[in-house]
Structures are given as C-alpha cells and as structure tokens.
C-alpha cells in the first residue's frame, strides 16, 4: 500500500497475489502490523489485537481469492518478531 513498516513491529502479516505463481503484483501487496507499543499497553487485550490483525489480513486475502478471473494465486504470510 505504500505504507512504511512501523518501528517496533511485534507481528506482521503480508498478503501478496498475482497471476504468475511466486511473482507478486506490487499494487496488490498489503502489509498489516501490530506494534510493540500496541501490545504492551496496560489495557491491551492481546486476543482482540491478534484477532483484529488476522481479520483484516484474512479479509483482504479472501477478497483477492474471490477474483479468479483476475488472479491465479494469493498468499498470506504471518510472522511474530
């Protein structure tokens, strides 16, 4: 999306898609982040934070998967830092 990776990322999810397997289309790539600052807030609900992150990333991946006339593959990759 053009957004820079935030400082102190705790968790990140990349969603990539394209026509040729393994060759992502840059305009379809999105990254979703959970920062350490969000994670360590005293009132933080960790389950809610992770569910929100996963929900946003999965919703976007599903949106892309529902376009088989435009795309041949979608990949979601999750990493904990």
- Model pLDDT, residue 1: 44
Give Cα 28 to chain centroid, integer Å.
11
Give the angle 49-50-51 at the CA atoms, nearest 5°: 95
Residues 6+ apart with CB under 8 A from 58: 76
Distance CA(44)–CA(51), nearest Å, equals 13
For the segment 2-57, what is each residue's pLDDT rounded down to a tens digit?
456 667 899 999 999 999 998 999 999 999 999 999 999 999 999 999 999 999 99
For the segment 44-80, what is each residue's pLDDT rounded down to a tens digit?
999 999 999 999 999 999 999 999 999 999 999 999 9
């Amino acid at each position: 999306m053009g957004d820079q990776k935030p400082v102190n990322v705790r968790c990140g999810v990349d969603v990539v898609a394209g026509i040729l397997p393994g060759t992502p289309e840059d305009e379809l790539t999105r990254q979703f982040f959970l920062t350490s600052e969000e994670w360590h807030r005293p009132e933080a609900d960790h389950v809610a934070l992770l569910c929100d992150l996963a929900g946003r990333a999965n919703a976007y991946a599903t949106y892309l998967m529902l376009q088989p006339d435009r795309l041949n593959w979608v990949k979601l990759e999750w990493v904990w830092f």
